[in-house]
């Protein structure tokens, strides 16, 4: 049976570039429906990857290399920065990652560690936007790894087109823990996770799994309900999902798959402490989506979830309040603080320091 999505171009060809009269909707009589072909084209969402434009992969790679070089320069004398890779536990895919460590390492199990997850559909980590906060993490005693899970930009077409939103990308991120366990100075019992936007979505879904390796986690302005989100954002956003191999369709076609991939529907599984910050003036993860997760966490997990709603915080560099706590000066790579950014990070460090204890050098613990 042909895919209904593929019939629309044929229909458009039949009706032409003007409008055409169609039978009344529902077949119950009444005036004929005039088809607006311009609107039909706007609403059409193909599930074939070849119907969508490809990115400029060489440009992405060049931009990544420049960003990595700048990060190397900024890190000198401040922290130990390097790029590493590891294999995803789900299928062996090579996952590149940025690794940030203190210049002076403690002894065995001396440092807690965190997996920091970047956002964006086809996003990337390589940017100055989080550098000052990584620097603070290292100064506090953490080791930080930032995976470029499948679908990330800057690593060529194959890695980019392997995108699996809410699917195998979770295992790519969780597999970073196995890499951290190869570092003798990392304490495997003190590993946390933190992410922003789509990264907060990944962090949430991992924390809502029945089993995971994290002691605590932070989700900043996280995507949480794909069923709602794709409806609210419309065809332009839907096209990023309908072509993915793990999904291949829209929520009405793949209901159970979208439920499975939406953190909102798995809150009851949370078993470790979690912090979530959202903003009412977020124009990416709009508050009408964010509040669903907040209220459910407060209702079902009040003893584990620490949540805060920031009311119209000073906007960040993009999407209004979506980046309210990622305000960084592009020239100095230092924090461009607002009162809400200060408050959000103070709360975040307090939360993480309480659960992961970075001040403790457990290599010196008495037997």
Backbone angles phi and psi of 190, in degrees to 5:
-130, 65
Give the pLDDT of residue 26. 53
pTM: 0.90
Report pLDDT digits (tens) over 314-358.
999 999 999 999 999 999 999 999 999 999 999 999 999 999 999
CB 285 within 8 A of CB 221: yes
> Distances in Å between the alpha carbon of 195 and those of 117, 119, 192, 199?
4, 7, 11, 4
> Distances in Å between the alpha carbon of 223 and those of 63, 242, 247, 287, 326?
26, 17, 17, 10, 17
Report pLDDT digits (tens) over 253-262.
999 999 999 9
Three-state SS letters, the chain: CCCHHHHHHHHHHHHCCCCEEECCHHHCCCCCEEECHHHHHHHCCCCCHHHCCCCCHHHHHHHHHHHHHHHHHHHCCCCEEEEEEEECCCCCCEEEEEEEECCCCCCCCCEEEEEEECCCCCCCCCCHHHHHHHHHHHHHCCEEEEECCCCCCCCCHHHHHCCCCCCHHHHHHHCHHHHHCCCCCEEEEEEEEEEECHHHHHHHHHHCCCCCCCCEEEEECCCCCHHHHHHHHCHHHHHHHHCCCCCCCCCCCCHHHHHHCCHHHHHHHCCCCEEEEEECCECCCCHHHHHHHHHHHHHHCCCCEEEEEECCCCCCCCCEHHHCCCCECCCCCCECCCHHHHHHHHHHHHHHHHHHCCCCCHHHCCC
- Is it the case that residue 88 has pLDDT exceeding 60? yes
Sketch the domain layout of the chain as residue ranges. Answer: 4-44, 57-360
Give the pLDDT of residue 229. 95
Backbone angles phi and psi of 81, in degrees to 5:
-115, 135
Report pLDDT digits (tens) over 167-209.
999 999 999 999 999 999 999 999 999 999 999 999 999 999 9
Please, what CATH class does the domain formed by 57-360 belong to?
alpha beta
Spell out the long-range contacts of 134-137 with Cβ–Cβ below 8 A and sequence spacing 24 or more: 134/79, 134/100, 135/78, 135/79, 136/345, 136/349, 137/100
Tokens of 352: 């993480």
- Is it the case that residue 367 has pLDDT exceeding 70? no
- Is it the case that residue 21 has pLDDT exceeding 80? no
- Is it the case that residue 20 has pLDDT exceeding 90? no
Q: How confident is the model at residue 2 (pLDDT cuts 50, 70, 90)?
A: very low
- Is it the case that residue 238 has pLDDT exceeding 80? yes
Tell me the average pLDDT across 110-123: 95
- Of 1-5, 140-144, 191-195, least confident by mean pLDDT is 1-5
Tell me the average pLDDT across 103-126: 94
Q: How confident is the model at residue 127 (pLDDT cuts 50, 70, 90)?
A: confident
Higher-pLDDT residue of 244, 111: 111
Q: Average pLDDT, whole number, for the chain? A: 91
Pairwise CA distance, residues 194 & 146, whole Å: 10
Q: How confident is the model at residue 27 (pLDDT cuts 50, 70, 90)?
A: low
Tell me the average pLDDT across 64-72: 95
Q: How confident is the model at residue 7 (pLDDT cuts 50, 70, 90)?
A: very low
Q: What's the CA angle centered on 238, arms 237 and 243, to 5 degrees?
A: 120
Pairwise CA distance, residues 224 & 307, whole Å: 14
Give the pLDDT of residue 29. 66
Give the pLDDT of residue 137. 98
CB 316 within 8 A of CB 355: no
């Amino acid at each position: 049976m042909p895919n209904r999505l593929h019939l629309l171009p044929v229909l458009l060809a039949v009706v032409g570039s003007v409008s055409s009269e169609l039978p009344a909707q529902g077949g119950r009589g009444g005036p004929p429906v005039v088809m607006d072909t311009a609107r039909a084209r706007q609403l059409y969402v193909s599930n074939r990857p070849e119907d969508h434009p490809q990115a400029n992969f060489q440009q992405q790679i060049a931009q990544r290399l420049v960003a990595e070089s700048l990060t190397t320069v900024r890190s000198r004398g401040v922290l130990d920065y390097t790029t590493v890779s590891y294999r995803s536990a789900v299928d062996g895919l090579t996952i590149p990652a940025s690794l940030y460590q203190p210049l002076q390492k403690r002894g065995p199990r001396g440092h807690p560690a965190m997996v920091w997850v970047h956002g964006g559909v086809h996003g990337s980590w390589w940017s100055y936007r989080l550098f000052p906060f990584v620097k603070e993490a290292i100064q506090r005693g953490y080791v930080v790894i930032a995976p470029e899970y499948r679908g990330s930009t800057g690593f060529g077409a194959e890695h980019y087109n392997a995108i699996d939103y809410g699917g195998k990308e979770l295992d790519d991120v969780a597999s970073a823990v196995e890499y951290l366990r190869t570092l003798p100075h990392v304490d495997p019992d003190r590993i946390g996770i933190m992410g922003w936007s789509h990264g907060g979505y990944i962090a949430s879904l991992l924390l809502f799994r029945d089993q995971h390796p994290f002691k605590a986690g932070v989700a900043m302005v996280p995507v949480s309900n794909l069923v709602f989100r794709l409806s609210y954002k419309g065809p332009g956003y839907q096209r990023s999902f309908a072509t993915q191999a793990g999904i291949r369709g829209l929520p009405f076609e793949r209901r159970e798959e979208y439920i499975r991939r939406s953190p909102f529907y798995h809150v009851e599984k949370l078993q470790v402490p979690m912090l979530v910050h959202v903003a009412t003036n977020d124009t990416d993860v709009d508050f009408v989506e964010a509040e669903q997760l907040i209220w459910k966490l407060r209702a079902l997990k009040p003893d584990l979830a620490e949540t805060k709603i920031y009311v119209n915080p000073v906007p960040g560099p993009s999407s209004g309040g979506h980046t309210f706590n990622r305000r960084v000066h592009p020239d100095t790579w230092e924090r461009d603080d607002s009162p809400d950014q200060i408050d959000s990070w103070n709360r975040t460090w307090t939360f993480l320091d309480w659960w992961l204890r970075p001040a403790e050098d457990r290599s010196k613990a008495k037997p």
